[in-house]
Amino acid sequence: MSAASSVSSASERFGARLAKAVAARGPLCAGIDPHPGLIEAWGLPVDVSGLERFALSATEVLAARTAIVKPQSAFFEAFGAAGVRVLERVVETARDAGALVLLDVKRGDIGSTMAAYTAAYVADGAAIAADAITVSPYLGFGSLAECVTTARSAGRGVFVLARTSNPEAAAVQNARLPDGRTVAQAIVDSAAAFNDDAAPFGDVGVVVGATIAPGELDLSRLNGPVLAPGFGAQGATVADLRRVFGPGLPGVLPASSRDILRHGPEQPALRQAVERIAEVLADPQENGQ
């Protein structure tokens, strides 16, 4: 089965598929980040053979136990064409195991270049067809309109960078616009405009770091998923998630990669790590329910 053949325009909307997957498997988004340091820590060579063993072994475990997995494209691209072929196998392996695939590519451009990125990842017949991708709006949210529209018509989704967890982001993302909103809030509001008619929630999500200050953003009208990096190795706890996003964490996908992957290469240890995190996220007392 090719990655491109598994999602078509006749499919359910991405938001609906994601809601079903989260209801069945919980909200954890497991990152597949074959960082050279992690590959070495697994006792593998930092070459394509090591990349393949690391990525596919991790995918087999994580995709069988989580609603959504998030391969970081850059770590595969670093190995050239052979690395991209491994990425294609990761996408297929994850989907065969029943997980949705959020490909972390952070693409953002204008005109024909953005159209080419759209064709590569989210259009019908895309070469590396993920269920959703991350995109950057910092050439203007309007530059993403064709990508968003194409993804939705193909049963796919996008997650737009809004308020990221890196310290350098605040200077740009918390800058004030003439109407008083922050840049990040304007991005959230633009994403929300695509989700008005969707249930249980829409196909356009946002990326909001789990380490930001509570109250920075109003997500109440988003009606879409929120990818929350910063959980785990970057220091955010379930209590932090609750403070930032509110009780119950509706629509929030806490993302964790290193906190899980450091337990490899033995697959039983990876399984235990995923299960421990899933139990914490499912604990009503931890989630404030």
Whether 20 is a known active-site residue: answer no
3-state helix/strand/coil string of the chain: CCHHHCCCCCCCCHHHHHHHHHHHHCCCEEEECCCHHHHHHCCCCCCHHHHHHHHHHHHHHHCCCCCEEEEEHHHHHCCHHHHHHHHHHHHHHHHHCCCEEEEEEEECCCHHHHHHHHHHHCCCCCCCCCCEEEECCCCCHHHHHHHHHHHHHCCCEEEEEEECCCHHHHHHHCCECCCCCEHHHHHHHHHHCCCCCCCCCCCEEEEECCCCCCCCCCCCCCCCCEEECCECCCCECHHHHHHHHCCCCCCEEEEECHHHHCCCCCHHHHHHHHHHHHHHHHCHHHHCC
Catalytic residue among 20, 35, 89, 106: 106
Q: Residues with catalytic annotation?
A: 106
